Amino acid sequence: MENLNEYERIDDLQRNGFRIIQDARLFRFGTDAVLLSHFATVKRGEHVVDLGTGNGVIALLLCSLYEDIRVTGVELQQASYELCRRNIELNGISERMSVIHGDMNNVSEMFKAGEADVVITNPPYMKKGGSLKNEGYEKSLSRHEIAVDLEGVIRAAAYLLKFGGRFYMVHRPERLAEIFGVMSKLALEPKKIRLVQANPNKAASMVLIEGCRGGKSGLTVMPTLNITDENGVLTKEYDNIYNG
């Protein structure tokens, strides 16, 4: 039995018996992480790098969905790094998943260029200089561009990806033009997006993005994913994604 402190709990990821330790003092995963892991496509034998892995939830979900892959998480915060390491041990997947304690601004010190087939990330959404909520520093780092900005995240992904490698990110729709501009600047061609909204009467609250390193132009806009219908009932598609 894993020894937990008073702030921790173990949650069932509802994916092939995978579980995750979460700490209330740190950033805990939400809908965006689950949808991003489902949106991404990973092929047999591929190496995935999860930038800003946190407690490792996206990497864990990918390992639960794809058996024959290798996932490396990169995490700056010491406490989250330690939690991710414990989650790897909890699920007994050290041969498939690992985590590096480091800054994604310095990925060249951790990886060779073009080492990854896939890069996935759930980065901070809020621009540096925006108002910070009354929250701990660890949570602020996860939500605000304090340690790394949007271009830093995409630059790290571009360095890591081999030619033809795929980039997956979840972000806010209002920053989509900026995201596309940075991706194009760094030779990551936007290939597919999907907007997500709470219900058909609400504006989209997040966007799922796929890019390709050195890809040809051509963007597919997928049908919008609604979390609930007009009556507040979970849609069948969302329920299938979130509850396995």
Angle between helices 78-91 and 57-65 (to 10 degrees): 20
The full set of domains in the chain, from first to last, is: 9-187 (3.40.50.150)
Secondary structure, 3-state, 171-240: ECHHHHHHHHHHHHHCCEEEEEEEEEECCCCCCEEEEEEEEEECCCCCCEECCCEECECCCCCECHHHHH
Report the chain's mean pLDDT, rounded to a whole number: 90
> What are the pLDDT digits (tens) for 26-46?
767 788 999 999 999 999 999
Alpha carbons 202 and 51: distance in angstroms, whole number:
30
Q: Note whether 150 and 128 are within 8 A (CB).
A: no
| More confident of the two residues 149 and 126 | 149
Average pLDDT over residues 164-186: 96
Q: Where residue 91 falls among pLDDT bands split at 50, 70, 90? A: very high
Q: What pLDDT does residue 244 have?
A: 63
Average pLDDT over residues 186-192: 97
The b/e string for 18-57 (b: 16+ C-beta within 10 A; e otherwise) is: bebbbbeebbbbebbbbbbbbbbebeeebbbbbbbbbbbb
| Residue 67 predicted with pLDDT over 90 | no
**Helix/strand number for the chain, H first, E second:** 7, 11
Q: What is the CA radius of gyration of the chain?
A: 17
Alpha carbons 217 and 77: distance in angstroms, whole number:
36
Q: What pLDDT does residue 56 have?
A: 95
Alpha carbons 224 and 25: distance in angstroms, whole number:
33
| 10-14, 105-109, 231-235: the lowest-pLDDT one | 10-14
HSE-up (13 A, CA, CB side) for residue 30: 12
> What are the pLDDT digits (tens) for 98-145?
999 999 999 999 999 999 999 999 998 777 665 555 455 555 555 554
| More confident of the two residues 133 and 164 | 164
